[in-house]
Amino acid sequence: MPEENRQFLLRLGGMSRMEQALVSLMSQQEIREWVLKYSSGYQELMAYYRCAMMSVETKFNVLTEALSLRYDRNPIEAVRTRMKSPESIVEKIRRRGFPLTVESIEENIHDIAGVRVICAFPSDIYKLSEMFLRQDDITLLERKDYFENPKPNGYRSLHLVLEVDVYQRTGKYTVPLELQIRTIAMDFWATLEHTLRYKVPERVPEEISDELHLTANDISALDQRMQRIHDQVEGIEDSQAHPIVFPPR
Ligand code: GTP
Ligand code: MG
Protein backbone atom coordinates (compact mmCIF):
# COMPACT_ATOMS: atom_id res chain seq x y z
CA MET A 1 0.00 0.00 0.00
CA PRO A 2 1.39 3.50 -0.85
CA GLU A 3 2.86 5.40 2.12
CA GLU A 4 0.46 8.35 1.68
CA ASN A 5 -2.47 5.93 1.98
CA ARG A 6 -1.03 4.24 5.01
CA GLN A 7 -0.65 7.66 6.68
CA PHE A 8 -4.22 8.52 5.82
CA LEU A 9 -5.47 5.24 7.21
CA LEU A 10 -3.40 5.70 10.37
CA ARG A 11 -4.95 9.14 10.86
CA LEU A 12 -8.37 7.53 10.58
CA GLY A 13 -7.12 4.90 13.01
CA GLY A 14 -6.52 7.60 15.64
CA MET A 15 -10.21 8.42 15.59
CA SER A 16 -11.37 4.95 16.39
CA ARG A 17 -13.21 5.72 19.65
CA MET A 18 -15.11 8.59 18.18
CA GLU A 19 -15.91 6.53 15.13
CA GLN A 20 -17.17 3.71 17.27
CA ALA A 21 -19.41 6.05 19.22
CA LEU A 22 -20.65 7.62 16.00
CA VAL A 23 -21.28 4.40 14.21
CA SER A 24 -23.22 2.93 17.10
CA LEU A 25 -25.67 5.79 16.62
CA MET A 26 -25.75 5.64 12.82
CA SER A 27 -28.32 4.09 10.57
CA GLN A 28 -27.19 1.95 7.62
CA GLN A 29 -27.78 4.89 5.29
CA GLU A 30 -25.67 7.17 7.49
CA ILE A 31 -22.81 4.66 7.63
CA ARG A 32 -22.87 4.44 3.85
CA GLU A 33 -22.75 8.26 3.61
CA TRP A 34 -19.93 8.47 6.18
CA VAL A 35 -17.86 6.03 4.18
CA LEU A 36 -18.54 7.83 0.90
CA LYS A 37 -17.97 11.32 2.26
CA TYR A 38 -15.02 11.05 4.62
CA SER A 39 -12.86 8.19 3.75
CA SER A 40 -11.12 8.25 0.45
CA GLY A 41 -8.57 6.00 2.20
CA TYR A 42 -11.30 3.46 2.76
CA GLN A 43 -12.35 3.80 -0.87
CA GLU A 44 -8.80 3.22 -1.99
CA LEU A 45 -8.47 0.17 0.23
CA MET A 46 -11.68 -1.21 -1.29
CA ALA A 47 -10.19 -0.70 -4.75
CA TYR A 48 -7.41 -3.15 -3.84
CA TYR A 49 -9.98 -5.77 -2.86
CA ARG A 50 -11.91 -5.23 -6.09
CA CYS A 51 -8.69 -5.77 -8.09
CA ALA A 52 -8.00 -9.03 -6.21
CA MET A 53 -11.57 -10.16 -6.87
CA MET A 54 -11.32 -9.37 -10.59
CA SER A 55 -8.03 -11.20 -10.76
CA VAL A 56 -9.44 -14.39 -9.19
CA GLU A 57 -12.59 -14.18 -11.32
CA THR A 58 -10.39 -13.94 -14.42
CA LYS A 59 -8.33 -16.92 -13.27
CA PHE A 60 -11.48 -19.05 -13.12
CA ASN A 61 -12.65 -17.74 -16.50
CA VAL A 62 -9.27 -18.73 -17.92
CA LEU A 63 -9.60 -22.19 -16.34
CA THR A 64 -13.09 -22.44 -17.91
CA GLU A 65 -11.58 -21.76 -21.36
CA ALA A 66 -8.74 -24.20 -20.84
CA LEU A 67 -10.98 -26.99 -19.52
CA SER A 68 -13.58 -26.51 -22.27
CA LEU A 69 -10.87 -27.01 -24.88
CA ARG A 70 -9.43 -30.07 -23.18
CA TYR A 71 -12.62 -31.94 -22.13
CA ASP A 72 -16.18 -32.20 -23.37
CA ARG A 73 -17.44 -31.18 -19.91
CA ASN A 74 -16.56 -27.95 -18.16
CA PRO A 75 -16.71 -28.41 -14.36
CA ILE A 76 -17.20 -24.67 -13.73
CA GLU A 77 -20.91 -23.86 -13.85
CA ALA A 78 -20.68 -20.26 -12.63
CA VAL A 79 -18.30 -17.75 -11.08
CA ARG A 80 -19.77 -15.04 -8.87
CA THR A 81 -18.13 -12.15 -7.05
CA ARG A 82 -19.21 -9.86 -4.27
CA MET A 83 -17.74 -7.10 -2.13
CA LYS A 84 -18.78 -6.99 1.52
CA SER A 85 -21.01 -3.97 2.11
CA PRO A 86 -19.85 -1.22 4.52
CA GLU A 87 -22.69 -2.20 6.88
CA SER A 88 -21.55 -5.83 7.03
CA ILE A 89 -17.93 -4.76 7.54
CA VAL A 90 -18.90 -2.55 10.47
CA GLU A 91 -21.20 -5.25 11.90
CA LYS A 92 -18.49 -7.92 11.68
CA ILE A 93 -15.68 -5.80 13.13
CA ARG A 94 -17.89 -4.87 16.11
CA ARG A 95 -19.16 -8.43 16.61
CA ARG A 96 -15.56 -9.62 16.84
CA GLY A 97 -14.53 -6.79 19.15
CA PHE A 98 -11.87 -5.22 16.89
CA PRO A 99 -11.41 -1.44 16.72
CA LEU A 100 -13.35 0.25 13.97
CA THR A 101 -10.46 1.69 12.00
CA VAL A 102 -9.49 1.22 8.40
CA GLU A 103 -6.22 -0.37 9.49
CA SER A 104 -8.04 -2.84 11.68
CA ILE A 105 -10.43 -3.65 8.84
CA GLU A 106 -7.44 -4.37 6.62
CA GLU A 107 -5.84 -6.57 9.27
CA ASN A 108 -8.81 -8.48 10.63
CA ILE A 109 -11.38 -8.95 7.90
CA HIS A 110 -10.34 -11.35 5.21
CA ASP A 111 -13.60 -11.76 3.35
CA ILE A 112 -14.18 -8.25 2.06
CA ALA A 113 -13.56 -9.59 -1.43
CA GLY A 114 -15.41 -12.82 -2.14
CA VAL A 115 -15.50 -15.17 -5.09
CA ARG A 116 -17.87 -18.13 -5.32
CA VAL A 117 -17.33 -20.90 -7.82
CA ILE A 118 -20.20 -23.28 -8.53
CA CYS A 119 -19.41 -26.67 -9.98
CA ALA A 120 -21.36 -29.76 -10.98
CA PHE A 121 -20.03 -32.66 -8.88
CA PRO A 122 -18.39 -32.89 -5.44
CA SER A 123 -15.15 -34.22 -6.97
CA ASP A 124 -14.93 -31.02 -9.09
CA ILE A 125 -14.57 -28.98 -5.89
CA TYR A 126 -11.20 -30.56 -5.11
CA LYS A 127 -10.02 -30.71 -8.73
CA LEU A 128 -10.70 -27.00 -9.18
CA SER A 129 -9.16 -25.96 -5.87
CA GLU A 130 -6.01 -27.94 -6.67
CA MET A 131 -5.70 -26.43 -10.15
CA PHE A 132 -6.26 -22.97 -8.76
CA LEU A 133 -3.84 -23.23 -5.84
CA ARG A 134 -1.04 -24.37 -8.15
CA GLN A 135 -0.87 -20.82 -9.54
CA ASP A 136 2.07 -19.09 -7.97
CA ASP A 137 0.58 -15.62 -7.39
CA ILE A 138 -1.89 -17.19 -4.94
CA THR A 139 -1.09 -18.08 -1.32
CA LEU A 140 -3.39 -20.20 0.81
CA LEU A 141 -3.88 -18.65 4.28
CA GLU A 142 -6.68 -20.83 5.62
CA ARG A 143 -8.71 -23.78 4.44
CA LYS A 144 -12.12 -24.61 5.92
CA ASP A 145 -13.53 -27.78 4.45
CA TYR A 146 -17.22 -27.67 5.34
CA PHE A 147 -17.78 -30.34 2.71
CA GLU A 148 -15.80 -32.94 4.65
CA ASN A 149 -16.89 -31.44 7.98
CA PRO A 150 -20.30 -29.82 7.52
CA LYS A 151 -21.40 -27.04 9.88
CA PRO A 152 -23.90 -28.11 12.59
CA ASN A 153 -26.77 -26.77 10.46
CA GLY A 154 -25.71 -28.94 7.50
CA TYR A 155 -23.95 -26.19 5.48
CA ARG A 156 -21.41 -27.65 3.04
CA SER A 157 -18.79 -25.82 0.92
CA LEU A 158 -15.05 -25.54 0.62
CA HIS A 159 -13.80 -22.17 1.90
CA LEU A 160 -10.30 -20.95 1.11
CA VAL A 161 -8.89 -17.74 2.50
CA LEU A 162 -6.21 -16.58 0.09
CA GLU A 163 -3.68 -13.90 -0.44
CA VAL A 164 -3.68 -12.63 -4.01
CA ASP A 165 -0.92 -10.60 -5.64
CA VAL A 166 -2.25 -7.37 -7.09
CA TYR A 167 -0.10 -5.11 -9.26
CA GLN A 168 -0.69 -1.38 -8.90
CA ARG A 169 1.03 1.71 -10.26
CA THR A 170 3.30 1.78 -7.19
CA GLY A 171 4.16 -1.91 -7.03
CA LYS A 172 2.92 -5.31 -5.94
CA TYR A 173 0.51 -5.78 -3.02
CA THR A 174 -0.95 -8.87 -1.43
CA VAL A 175 -4.66 -8.73 -0.74
CA PRO A 176 -6.81 -11.26 1.17
CA LEU A 177 -9.85 -12.83 -0.44
CA GLU A 178 -12.34 -15.57 0.43
CA LEU A 179 -13.04 -18.21 -2.18
CA GLN A 180 -16.00 -20.54 -1.75
CA ILE A 181 -16.34 -23.60 -3.96
CA ARG A 182 -19.53 -25.67 -3.86
CA THR A 183 -21.81 -27.76 -6.07
CA ILE A 184 -25.00 -26.51 -7.73
CA ALA A 185 -27.00 -28.48 -5.18
CA MET A 186 -25.13 -27.05 -2.19
CA ASP A 187 -25.52 -23.58 -3.67
CA PHE A 188 -29.26 -24.13 -4.03
CA TRP A 189 -29.50 -25.07 -0.34
CA ALA A 190 -27.22 -22.28 0.94
CA THR A 191 -29.04 -19.61 -1.08
CA LEU A 192 -32.49 -20.64 0.16
CA GLU A 193 -31.31 -21.21 3.73
CA HIS A 194 -29.77 -17.73 3.76
CA THR A 195 -32.99 -16.15 2.45
CA LEU A 196 -35.15 -18.03 4.95
CA ARG A 197 -32.87 -17.24 7.89
CA TYR A 198 -33.00 -13.53 7.16
CA LYS A 199 -36.81 -13.61 7.10
CA VAL A 200 -36.83 -14.74 10.73
CA PRO A 201 -36.11 -11.70 12.93
CA GLU A 202 -34.19 -13.32 15.81
CA ARG A 203 -33.63 -16.98 16.60
CA VAL A 204 -34.82 -19.48 14.00
CA PRO A 205 -37.42 -21.78 15.69
CA GLU A 206 -36.03 -25.25 16.36
CA GLU A 207 -38.47 -27.10 14.12
CA ILE A 208 -37.46 -24.90 11.18
CA SER A 209 -33.72 -25.34 11.76
CA ASP A 210 -34.22 -29.11 12.16
CA GLU A 211 -36.15 -29.22 8.90
CA LEU A 212 -33.44 -27.19 7.14
CA HIS A 213 -30.82 -29.59 8.47
CA LEU A 214 -32.74 -32.53 7.04
CA THR A 215 -32.94 -30.82 3.64
CA ALA A 216 -29.15 -30.26 3.77
CA ASN A 217 -28.66 -34.00 4.33
CA ASP A 218 -31.02 -34.80 1.43
CA ILE A 219 -29.04 -32.44 -0.80
CA SER A 220 -25.80 -34.12 0.23
CA ALA A 221 -27.24 -37.58 -0.52
CA LEU A 222 -28.32 -36.33 -3.97
CA ASP A 223 -24.84 -34.94 -4.62
CA GLN A 224 -23.33 -38.33 -3.75
CA ARG A 225 -25.75 -40.16 -6.06
CA MET A 226 -24.98 -37.77 -8.92
CA GLN A 227 -21.26 -38.28 -8.25
CA ARG A 228 -21.70 -42.08 -8.52
CA ILE A 229 -23.63 -41.70 -11.81
CA HIS A 230 -20.91 -39.39 -13.11
CA ASP A 231 -18.19 -41.90 -12.18
CA GLN A 232 -20.10 -44.71 -13.92
CA VAL A 233 -20.58 -42.62 -17.09
CA GLU A 234 -16.87 -41.74 -17.10
CA GLY A 235 -16.08 -45.45 -16.80
CA ILE A 236 -18.23 -46.24 -19.86
CA GLU A 237 -16.67 -43.34 -21.81
CA ASP A 238 -13.15 -44.55 -20.97
CA SER A 239 -13.88 -48.14 -22.04
CA GLN A 240 -15.33 -46.94 -25.39
CA ALA A 241 -12.70 -44.32 -26.13
CA HIS A 242 -10.71 -44.89 -29.32
CA PRO A 243 -7.23 -43.47 -29.30
CA ILE A 244 -6.71 -40.88 -31.99
CA VAL A 245 -3.96 -42.13 -34.30
CA PHE A 246 -2.37 -39.49 -36.46
CA PRO A 247 -1.13 -40.65 -39.87
CA PRO A 248 2.64 -40.64 -40.19
CA ARG A 249 4.00 -37.51 -41.81
P1 GTP B 1 -18.31 -14.89 9.09
O2 GTP B 1 -18.20 -13.97 10.21
O3 GTP B 1 -19.74 -15.11 8.63
O4 GTP B 1 -17.42 -14.54 7.93
O5 GTP B 1 -17.84 -16.28 9.67
P6 GTP B 1 -16.47 -17.05 9.48
O7 GTP B 1 -15.35 -16.10 9.30
O8 GTP B 1 -16.38 -18.10 10.54
O9 GTP B 1 -16.61 -17.65 8.07
P10 GTP B 1 -17.20 -18.95 7.47
O11 GTP B 1 -16.11 -19.45 6.59
O12 GTP B 1 -17.78 -19.89 8.44
O13 GTP B 1 -18.42 -18.40 6.60
C14 GTP B 1 -18.29 -17.29 5.78
C15 GTP B 1 -19.33 -17.24 4.68
O16 GTP B 1 -19.76 -18.56 4.31
C17 GTP B 1 -20.61 -16.53 5.02
O18 GTP B 1 -20.48 -15.16 4.80
C19 GTP B 1 -21.60 -17.18 4.05
O20 GTP B 1 -21.42 -16.67 2.74
C21 GTP B 1 -21.12 -18.61 4.03
N22 GTP B 1 -21.77 -19.42 5.07
C23 GTP B 1 -21.19 -19.91 6.18
N24 GTP B 1 -22.06 -20.60 6.92
C25 GTP B 1 -23.23 -20.58 6.27
C26 GTP B 1 -24.53 -21.12 6.54
O27 GTP B 1 -24.78 -21.78 7.52
N28 GTP B 1 -25.51 -20.87 5.60
C29 GTP B 1 -25.28 -20.15 4.47
N30 GTP B 1 -26.29 -19.97 3.63
N31 GTP B 1 -24.06 -19.63 4.20
C32 GTP B 1 -23.07 -19.82 5.08
MG1 MG C 1 -15.59 -15.31 6.86
Domains of the chain as residue ranges with CATH: 1-38 (no CATH), 40-184 (3.30.460.10)
Give the type of residue at 246.
F
Is the confidence at residue 168, as pLDDT, over 90?
Answer: no
Summarize pLDDT for 217-236 with one digit per residue, the tens.
999 999 999 999 999 988 88
Distance CA 125, CA 209 (A): 26
pLDDT of residue 68: 81
pLDDT of residue 39: 65
94 lines ligand 1 (CB under 6 A): no
190 lines ligand 1 (CB under 6 A): yes
pLDDT of residue 244: 53
Distance CA 38, CA 9 (A): 11
What lies within 8 Å, CB to CB, of 64 at 6+ separation is 74, 76, 79
CA of 8 to the centre of ligand 1 (A): 31
Q: Which pTM value belongs to this model?
A: 0.82
Q: How far lies 73's CA from each of 59, 64, 70, 96, 140, in Å? A: 18, 10, 9, 43, 27
Summarize pLDDT for 75-118 with one digit per residue, the tens.
999 999 999 988 888 889 889 999 877 888 889 999 999 999 99
pLDDT of residue 177: 97
144 lines ligand 1 (CB under 6 A): yes
CA of 159 to the centre of ligand 1 (A): 9
Is the confidence at residue 16, as pLDDT, over 50?
Answer: no
Q: Is 178 a catalytic residue?
A: yes
What is the average per-residue pLDDT within 142-165?
96
Counting Cα atoms < 13 Å in the Cβ hemisphere of 15 gives 11
Which residues surround the ion ligand 2 when the cut-off is CB under 5 Å?
111
What lies within 8 Å, CB to CB, of 73 at 6+ separation is 120
Give the CA angle between residues 212, 218, 189 to the nearest 5°: 50
Summarize pLDDT for 48-84 with one digit per residue, the tens.
999 999 999 999 999 998 888 777 778 999 999 999 9
Closest-lying ligand 1 atom to the alpha carbon of residue 191: 30
| More confident: 197 or 33 | 197
143 lines ligand 1 (CB under 6 A): no
- Residue 119 near residue 128 (C-beta atoms within 8 A): yes
